Amino acid sequence: MDLDMIQDAFDRVAKKQKLSSSKIQELIDQVGREIEQATAKLQMTENATGCSDPKSILVDLKTKLNEIAPMKQLESLQKELNVGLGKYVKILEKCFNPDISRAYRNVDFDVNIVNQIIASHFYRQGLFDLGDCFISEANEPEAAALKSPFMEMYSILEAMRCRNLEPALSWASKQSERLMQNGSDLELKLHQLQFVEILQNGSRSEALNYARTYLTPFASVHKVEIQKLIACLLWAGRLHESPYADFMYPSHWERLAEEFMQQFCSLLGQSFQSPLSVAIAAGVQGLPTLLKLESVMAAKKQEWLAMKQLPVPVDLGREFQFHSIFVCPVLREQGSDENPPMLMPCGHVVSKQSIAKLSKSSTRAFKCPYCPQEASVAQCKLLHF
């Protein structure tokens, strides 16, 4: 899109607008001056008798005003301005898509659900006042379900920002088992950070005590890390000179804060990113294709509204790829439980139905459609992505 061109076009409109309004002011001044001159003439008649009477002065004024023709001038100014505006609107209509609701299906979007999604989005972003304001204005008291868990998350994060790990540690120890199931070593990482803090500020014995109490339970699974950490004891108070200086990087705090948020959301059954922003971002990427599709199908509005699957792919970026979708290259259909992907001995993959066709219902060996190698149904292997 040529934004520079649009900006220039707008500048022209704005210039015209300024010019026009100063011309209007001038015009009013001009009319005003004529009237004032007439006034002055009238006043002069007071002293000099025999001068023209009020009537002739007024007639004079009328003629002069008619000569200026202010109404005509105003009209032509307005006309000129409208022409400029019209041109600019045309440019906008050409450069932008004037109606992005064309591809919209008129289905009922349940307002309560949308509002709940929005409220959760606000709470997830830590915008608690806003969430409360929204819930009361939209009258959706049930939409506050995620408020208190996210408040907990943000208060733990706030404490972490002030280098206080206590709330995070107490949360992690409560969730210890579930974290482990998730394959997360967040708890260890929190203890590690705490241990390094103690080592930096406190005494060696305090750090040793801490390690004995909190780090040893992890020793069997995280042998190497624990060994390194204990070795840090040798450098108490001057860790920055040690080979383990990287334990002190402030970036550990940031990274851990993020990991904490991820785990917190995950245990809450939520994704790390706001699902609303993901869905809207996908919409921004997908909408241009849908609009094009709609304009191609404009003649078949019914078909557009009734279709169960889009006729063309909408390409989304890889951040929106949440599932493994297998499309059989022979049948051009998406795989399913009934028609799963099968690996042939040559390494090529097609769907089960394709193999059934190629092998005439498993009655004979067949040639791979992509290479010269032969295969039998028995040699094909069901794949799980």
Partner 1 sequence: MDMAIDSAPNGDASSSPAVPPATAAAAAAPPAPTTRLAQLAESLKLEYQFVRVPLEHLKKTMRTNYRLAEKEVAAVLSSVAEAVDRSDAMSRDDALTHLSSLVSRLQSLKRKLEEGSRVENLQAQRCRARLEHLDSVADADKFAEWKDVRLTRILVDYMLRMSYYDTAKKLAETSKIQELVDIDVFLEAKKVIDSLRNKEVAPALAWCAENKSRLKKSKSKLEFQLRLQEFIELVRADEKLRAVSYARKYLAPWAAAYTKELQHAMATLAFRHNTECSTYKDVFDSSQWDCLVEQFKQEFCRLFGMTNEPLLNIYLQAGLTALKTPLCYKEACRKEDPLSQEGFRKLAEPLPFSKLHHSKLVCYITKELMDHENPPLVLPNGYVYSTKALEEMAGKNEGKITCPRTGEVCSFTDLIKAYIS
Helix, strand or coil for residue 246? helix
With contacts defined by CB under 8 A, name the span among 197-205, 216-224, 231-239, 330-338 that binds partner 1.
330-338
Contacts to partner 1 from residues 143-172, by CB under 8 A: 154, 157-158, 160-161
Which residues make Cβ contacts (< 8 Å) with residue 12, sequence separation at least 6? 84, 88
Q: Is 27 in the site for partner 1 (CB under 8 A)?
A: yes
Do the Cβ atoms of 284 and 100 come closer than 8 Å? no
Strands 366-367 and 374-375: antiparallel
Q: Among 221, 217, 218, 199, which residue's Cα sits nearest to residue 208?
A: 199
Q: What is the rounded distance in angstroms from the CA atom of residue 383 to the CA atom of residue 340?
A: 7
Report the alpha-carbon distance of residue 15 to residue 171 in Å, rounded.
Answer: 62
The minimum distance between CB 206 and partner 1, in angstroms, equals 27
Please state, in angstroms and rounded to a whole number, the distance separating the CA atoms of residues 152 and 281.
28
**Which of 224, 309, 360, 363: binder of partner 1 (CB under 8 A)?**
309
Of 173, 283, 362, 379, which one interacts with partner 1 (CB under 8 A)? Answer: 283
Q: According to the binding rule CB under 8 A, does residue 295 interact with partner 1?
A: no
Q: Which of residues 350-379 bind partner 1 (CB under 8 A)?
A: 370
How far is 47 from 131, CA to CA, in rounded Å? 78
- Calculate ∠ Cα 165-167-169, nearest 5°: 65
Q: Pick from 76, 97, 213, 361 the residue near partner 1 by CB under 8 A.
A: 97
Q: Does residue 6 belong to the site contacting partner 1 (CB under 8 A)?
A: yes
| The two structure tokens encoding residue 14 | 């704005």
Residue 347 CB, shortest distance to partner 1, in Å, is: 5
Residue type, 308: K
Smallest distance from the beta carbon of 37 to partner 1, in angstroms?
10
Q: Which is nearer to partner 1, 322 or 360 (CB)?
A: 322
Closest CA to 240 of 230, 227, 229, 249: 249
| Sites for partner 1 among residues 119-138 (CB under 8 A) | 122, 124-127, 129-130, 133-134, 137-138
Residues 23, 16 contacting (CB under 8 angstroms): no
Which residues 173-202 are close enough to bind partner 1 by CB under 8 A?
none
Query: Mask of contacts with partner 1, 50-79, x by CB under 8 A?
Result: ----xx-xxx-xx--x----xx--x---x-
Q: With CB under 8 A as the rule, give the number of residues binding partner 1.
A: 145
Location of structure tokens 């690996």:
343
Q: Is 280 in the site for partner 1 (CB under 8 A)?
A: yes
Binding of partner 1 by 384 (CB under 8 A)? yes
* Eight-state DSSP code of residue 342: E
Q: Which is nearer to partner 1, 168 or 236 (CB)?
A: 168
> Binding residue for partner 1 (CB under 8 A) from 48, 50, 141, 323?
323
